[in-house]
Homo-oligomer: A and B are copies of this chain.
Amino acid sequence: MATQNSAFETSEYDRRIAKTRAAMSAAGLDAIFVTDPSNQAWLTGYDGWSFYVHQGVILTMEGEPVWWGRHMDMMGGRRTCWMQQDNIVGYGDHYVQSTVIHPMQDLAAHLKARGLERARIGVEMENYYYSAKAHAVLTEELPQAHLIDATALVNWQRLVKSDAEIAFIRKAARISEKVVQTAIDRAAPGVRKNDLVADIMHAGISGVGDDWGDYPAIVPLTPSGLDATAAHLTWDGAPMREGEATFFELSGCYRRYHAPLCRTVFLGTPPDEMLRTAQAQMEGLAAGLEAARAGNRTCDIANAFMQVMAKHGIERSGRMGYAIGLSYPPDWGERTASIRSEDETVLEPGMTFHFMPALWMDSWGLETTETILIREDGAAETLCDIERKLFVKD
């Protein structure tokens, strides 16, 4: 029974759990313990800023999942998870950041109580919220169990979105359009970057109509000039200047679903080289979108973009995008398929990606990107509707 606060209907959670159990079965697992907050939310609806302490979801081959966390966060579990209250369990506050006892001791007791003492249990070895220490303690507490790396097992089940999820991402896309348009409209020489970011955040969280804005999993990245040669600097209080490009890497967020969108704004008259590069980037984006078809692979999108770049004499390698959807900080990427030449994930209808072939050059950077939906037929749909160009304000 979905509670008042759950984001989706019970049937949607049933679908997710069935899909996950099939993957567990294929991997020979009796159970998984999932710490990725996005995976927790996807399976149970749990939504709260409590992932800074140890918490997670236990899923076996039968029955409801169990949300496990800090005792004080059980109330949040009851307010947001769809399961019965018995399946929301917690550990005492004396475990939190203790150097004497560890929350994983409590988790081990729960796993034993569920008959998993000798089970094959999947854990997310490569996740922010499953520390090296957590793994060491759990291993020690369950000497007869087999802890098996199940990193991204649940994430891969999330790759093809349901219609209900796509509806959420479309709402996020409306908010993305609003925040990017706000950035483009307000950017001007003399405007302090933090004041611009304040407006961007206000636009995003106030949302669009009845669709309220949630917090994106990454804060606005808005570097100008030389700072834009770096990929991940945040803002400061310096005023924007004539003669500089600023890229805006932003996303609207609707109930934890994202639709990232980047555009670049130049104040003044851009140098010819930047204009030519921007032109090439748009041509590359168009080529990439054409290649983003069901049956093709993620690498085909990257290769299509790189071929256009090569034609224009621009070197670009590396990662040019990633699957997106439900997410929590510090990353809005889904951590599965990447758009890059070494990734051969076959595209299926319902997959959503941030196609992100940014160009970070020696003295400036250009980010123009799209959130895309793979369709049954034809090239990918771009979910946001903001003109694809270098915006010049002079």
- A contacts, CB < 8 Å to B: 47-52, 72-73, 75-76, 78-80, 92-94, 96-98, 123, 125-136, 149, 151, 192-195, 197-199, 201-207, 210-215, 218-219, 221, 226-227, 229-237, 317-319, 322, 329-331, 333, 335, 338, 340, 342, 360
Contact = CB atoms under 8 A, between A and B. Distances in A.
Contacts of A219: 49, 215
Given A47-B233, A233-B48, A128 B126 contact: no
Interface centre among A134, A205, A226 (most CB of B within 10 A): A205
A134 to B, nearest CB: 7
Contacts of A192: 212
Contact of A221 (B49, B198, B206, B226): B49
Contacts of A194: 205-207, 212-214
Contacts of A206: 194-195, 198
24 contacts: A49-B221, A49-B232, A52-B218, A52-B331, A72-B232, A75-B231, A75-B360, A78-B230, A92-B318, A93-B318, A98-B342, A125-B133, A126-B131, A127-B131, A130-B132, A132-B136, A194-B207, A194-B212, A195-B206, A197-B205, A201-B205, A210-B237, A212-B237, A214-B234
Given A215-B234, A230-B48, A233-B80, A133 B126 contact: yes
Contacts of A229: 75
Q: What 3 A-B pairs have minimum CB-CB distances, sorted nearest first?
A: A212-B237, A93-B318, A132-B135
Contacts of A76: 230-233
Contacts of A213: 194, 198
A335 B97 contact: yes
A277 B22 CA distance: 51
Given A192-B212, A230-B75, A129 B132 contact: no
B202 A72 contact: no
B212 A72 contact: no
A231 B210 CA distance: 26
A204 B79 CA distance: 28
B201 A338 contact: no
Contacts of A133: 125-126, 149, 151
A219 B203 CA distance: 16
Contacts of A129: 128
Contacts of A51: 330
A198 to B, nearest CB: 4
Contacts of A127: 131-132
Contacts of A130: 131-132
Contacts of A340: 93-94
A319 to B, nearest CB: 5
Contacts of A203: 198
Contacts of A50: 231-232
A319 B80 CA distance: 24
Contacts of A335: 97
A384 B360 CA distance: 41
Contacts of A342: 94, 98
Nearest to A151: B133
Contacts of A317: 93
A52 B330 contact: yes
Given A52-B331, A97-B335, A194-B207, A230 B73 contact: yes
Contact of A201 (B98, B198, B211, B331): B198
Contact of A72 (B126, B231, B235, B330): B231
